[in-house]
């Protein structure tokens, strides 16, 4: 009989997922008791926090997706100049943690903010407005990137057919564009909503007294060590994420893959191009403002009182162990990039290139991490791994991040594997070329660019995450991103700004390297 040896790998990976995702989650559920439940639900602020969270997340989602839709439309359907530059600048905010968005906004529009004074406003935007604005800044690039991708791949043929039939532009929009966008749009809306409602970084910085669920959870756990109550909040935060995940899954089952026949070439229209250009430029300005504020605060002595250029704040940050935390972050991010990519690659190889019920089960488990908010995964890890040799080490941070960010890179390589010729392994089997050889000598060389993209995704996200690691990091293993809160708390505003800038610079460096590497790979491929 021909035995499929990949089954052993699949079993091993399944066990890995059970230990690293399923069991910790079960442990969190087991931590719930009636007393904690009542303590949370009967808390006078609970109802308010639920309402606040829903309100802030809904508003932020609406604005974020609306803006993303408008700007991705500008990119896909106009002939404006500098499209590539706009795309790069508009996605820059993806490289800094949510807490930095909150911090940038505080610097600009807080009670003593730079813009608050310039514009002569009586008070800052702390509270709902601040949270919504910060959350839009944080989530907009994701929505924009997803939609720009979808729009960029739209087929021109239906529009050409409509033109021939004399159907007007408005009818074309409602009859072709909207139906085409409806499914991806649902995906984007749910992703953004989940991302915003489970984030504590923005509300912590600019929320003022406006309390949201993640803030309550954070305070219960970090402030009071109430893990029982924390678990209740964890389960509540898990709900929207799981709902979004299930809807996305059902939707994907229904949708069929479609291939682009012809890319859309926008007609000549100077006015439209001008409007698009202005809109993109305006949004770029909004995106650049907080980054400019970080730079300004970092390099001048005391804004706005003493504008002398200085390196004092940088020196101070490093004197306060900023260097150690940077190294911690770099070690963790690099390890996550290597280990996460290796596991995701192997896992996708099993699910996309081998058959059987185990493959399908493994695929489902692999994408489940998408449904678990970082805070919830972090808490589960605290409860499950406490007392083990891993707890309190960099290793647990590497593990939790690898799992937290697993789904997206996994799907990247899963899709790449699926478009590579399905008969390669069969041909290999008849030519006596083993599966591992086909994997190493044929599949790996053909998926180099996806591999690079996966590593970069794991690295950048680990570098800026504040969610899963927040409960797990201790004095020795603390990450750079978690320093922003600490510096802000110690009224070291300039140091907090510099830390945000450092994270941005590291990530930008990684992204640039990846860009160059991919260009080189593409050139070699074409040879």
Partner 1 sequence: MENQNTKIVVNGLKVVLGKKTILENIHFDVKDGEFLSILGPSGCGKTTILRCLIGLLNPTGGTIVKDGTDITKLGPSKRGMGIVFQNYALFENMSVLKNVEYALRLDKSRKAESRKIAMEMLQVVGLADHAKKRPSRLSGGQQQRVAIARTLALNPDVILFDEPMSALDVDTRMILRQELKDLQKKFGTTMIYITHDQEEAFAMSDRIMVMDNGVIHQIDTPENIIKNPADDYVRRFVVHNLQLKIDSLSRFSTANAKGDDSAQ
Residues that bind partner 1 (CB under 8 A): 1-2, 421-424, 426-427, 429-433, 437, 441-442, 445-446, 527
Question: How far apart are CB 444 and partner 1 at their closest, in Å?
Answer: 9
- The residues facing 302 across adjacent strands are 306
Q: How many CA atoms lie within 13 A of 136 on its CB side?
A: 20
C-alpha distances (whole Å) from 524 to each of 512, 516, 521 are 19, 13, 5
DSSP 94: G
Report the greatest alpha carbon distance in the chain.
81
CB nearer to partner 1: pick between 58 and 446? 446
* Residue reference for tokens 């926008």: 266
Residues 475 and 392: their CA atoms lie apart, in Å, by: 9
Q: How many other CB atoms are found less than 10 A from the CB of residue 125?
A: 23
Measured from the CB of residue 447, what is the shortest distance to partner 1 in angstroms?
Answer: 10
- Of 266, 286, 261, 285, which Cα lies nearest the Cα of 81? 266
**Least CB distance to partner 1 at residue 446 (A):** 5
DSSP character string of 448-474? HHHHHHHHHHHHHHHHH--STTTTT--
Nearer to partner 1, 102 or 428 (CB): 428
CB of 354 to partner 1, least distance (A): 13
Nearer to partner 1, 305 or 526 (CB): 526
Whichever of 249 and 429 has its CB closer to partner 1, that residue is 429
When the beta carbons of 200 and 345 are compared against partner 1, the nearer one is 345
Determine contact, residues 468/400, Cβ cutoff 8 Å. Answer: yes
What minimum distance in Å lies between the beta carbon of 46 and partner 1? 50
In the complex, least distance from residue 432 CB atom to partner 1, rounded to whole angstroms: 4
Q: Could you give the C-alpha distances from 95 to 194, 396, 458, in angstroms and in order?
A: 19, 23, 12
- Closest to partner 1 by CB, 258 vs 441, is 441
What would the two tokens of residue 227 be? Answer: 């893990």
Question: How distant is the alpha carbon of residue 250 from its chain centre?
Answer: 22
**CB nearer partner 1, residue 320 or residue 429:** 429
Phi, psi for residue 521 in degrees, rounded to 5? -60, -40
- Residues 411, 116: Cα–Cα separation, whole Å: 43
The two three-digit tokens of residue 492, written as one number: 């070291």
What is the closest distance, in whole angstroms, from the C-beta atom of residue 416 to partner 1 in the complex? Answer: 13
SS3 256: coil
Measured in degrees and rounded to the nearest 5, phi and psi for residue 491 equal 60, 25
Nearer to partner 1, 270 or 526 (CB): 526
Nearer to partner 1, 272 or 448 (CB): 448
Provide the minimum distance between the beta carbon of 353 and partner 1 in the complex, in angstroms, as a whole number. Answer: 13
Instruction: Please enumerate in sequence order all residues whose Cβ is within 8 A of that of 250, keeping only pairs 6 or more positions apart, or say none.
Output: none
Closest approach, Cβ 255 to partner 1, in A, equals 24
CB of 421 to partner 1, least distance (A): 5
d(CA 84, CA 520): 19
Q: Kindly state the smallest distance separating residue 527's Cβ from partner 1, in Å.
A: 7
- Residue (30 or 419) nearer to partner 1, CB: 419
- H or E stretch covering 278: helix 270-299
Residue pair 414/360 in contact by the 8 Å Cβ criterion? no
Residue nearer to partner 1 on the CB measure, 174 or 421? 421
Of the two residues 336 and 443, which places its CB atom closer to partner 1 in the complex? 443
Distances (CA, A) of 424 to 370, 434, 437: 31, 11, 11
Q: How far apart are CA 288 and CA 320, in angstroms?
A: 28
Q: How far is the CB of 256 from partner 1 (least distance, A)?
A: 19
């Amino acid at each position: 009989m021909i035995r499929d040896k990949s089954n052993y790998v699949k079993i091993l990976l399944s066990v890995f997922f059970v230990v690293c995702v399923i069991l910790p989650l079960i442990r969190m559920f087991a931590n719930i008791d009636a007393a904690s439940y009542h303590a949370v639900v009967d808390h006078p602020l609970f109802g308010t926090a639920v309402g606040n969270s829903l309100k802030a997340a809904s508003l932020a989602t609406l604005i974020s997706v609306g803006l993303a839709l408008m700007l991705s439309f500008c990119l896909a359907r106009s002939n404006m100049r500098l499209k590539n530059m706009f795309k790069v600048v508009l996605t820059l905010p993806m490289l800094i943690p949510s807490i930095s968005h909150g911090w940038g906004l505080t610097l600009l529009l807080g009670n003593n903010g730079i813009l608050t004074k310039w514009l002569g406003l009586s008070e800052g935007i702390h509270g709902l407005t601040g949270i919504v604005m910060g959350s839009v800044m944080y989530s907009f690039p994701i929505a924009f990137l997803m939609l720009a991708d979808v729009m960029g791949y739209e087929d021109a043929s239906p529009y050409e057919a409509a033109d021939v039939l004399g159907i007007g532009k408005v009818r074309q929009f409602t009859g072709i564009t909207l139906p085409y966008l409806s499914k991806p749009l649902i995906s984007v809306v749910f992703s953004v909503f989940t991302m915003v409602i489970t984030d504590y970084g923005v509300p912590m910085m600019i929320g003022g007294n406006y309390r949201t669920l993640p803030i309550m959870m954070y305070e219960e756990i970090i402030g009071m060590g109430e893990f029982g109550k924390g678990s209740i909040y964890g389960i509540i935060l898990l709900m929207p994420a799981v709902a979004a995940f299930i809807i996305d899954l059902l939707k994907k089952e229904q949708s069929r893959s479609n291939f682009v026949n012809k890319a859309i070439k926008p007609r000549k229209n100077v006015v439209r191009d001008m409007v698009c250009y202005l809109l993109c430029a305006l949004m770029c300005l909004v995106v650049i403002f907080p980054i400019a504020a970080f730079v300004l605060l970092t390099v001048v002595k005391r804004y706005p009182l003493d504008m002398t250029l200085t390196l004092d704040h940088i020196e101070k940050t490093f004197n306060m162990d900023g260097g150690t935390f940077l190294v911690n972050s770099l070690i963790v991010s690099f390890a996550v990039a290597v280990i996460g990519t290796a596991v995701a690659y192997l896992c996708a190889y099993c699910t996309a290139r081998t058959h059987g019920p185990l493959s399908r089960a493994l695929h489902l488990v692999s994408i489940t991490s998408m449904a678990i908010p970082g805070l919830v995964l972090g808490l589960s890890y605290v409860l499950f791994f406490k007392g083990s040799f891993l707890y309190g080490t960099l290793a647990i941070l590497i593990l939790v991040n690898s799992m937290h960010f697993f789904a997206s890179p996994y799907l990247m390589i899963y899709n790449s594997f699926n478009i590579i010729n399905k008969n390669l392994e069969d041909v290999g089997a008849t030519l006596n070329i083993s599966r591992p050889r086909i994997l190493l000598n044929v599949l790996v060389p053909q998926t180099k660019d996806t591999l690079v993209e996966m590593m970069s995704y794991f690295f950048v996200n680990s570098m800026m995450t504040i969610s899963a690691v927040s409960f797990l990091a201790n004095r020795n293993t603390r990450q750079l991103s978690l320093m922003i809160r600490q510096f802000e708390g110690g009224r070291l505003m300039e140091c907090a700004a510099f830390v945000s800038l450092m994270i941005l610079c590291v990530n930008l460096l990684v992204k640039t390297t990846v860009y160059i590497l991919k260009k080189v790979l593409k050139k070699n491929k074409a040879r």
